[in-house]
């Protein structure tokens, strides 16, 4: 491509990027940068996910087919 096309194209893309930044600045996207970081930290204590120690995931942990000769 020739420079006659590339220079206006790069200037246009730069102005679009500048307009998007100014729109985000005016819309309030950068007002509370620390608030979003603290919102992901839970305020409640973590829930114990281990469950009851007597719960079993599988009722039979041994190979029941080996006793039947299969």
Higher pLDDT, 54 or 69: 54
pLDDT confidence of 54, banded at 50, 70, 90? low
pTM of the model: 0.48
Residue 5 confidence (pLDDT):
94
Concatenating the DSSP letter of every residue in 3-67 gives HHHHHHHHHHHHHHHHHHHHHHHHHTTTS-HHHHHHHTS-SSPPP--S--TT--SSS--S-TTTT
In this model, does residue 60 exceed pLDDT 60? Answer: no
pLDDT in tens, 11-50: 999 999 999 999 999 998 888 878 777 777 777 776 666 6
């Amino acid at each position: 491509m020739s420079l006659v096309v590339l220079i206006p194209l790069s200037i246009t893309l730069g102005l679009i990027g500048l307009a998007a930044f100014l729109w985000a600045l005016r819309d309030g996207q950068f007002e509370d940068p620390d608030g979003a970081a603290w919102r992901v930290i839970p305020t409640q204590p973590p829930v114990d996910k281990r469950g009851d120690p007597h719960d079993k995931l599988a009722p039979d942990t041994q190979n029941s087919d080996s006793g039947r000769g299969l």
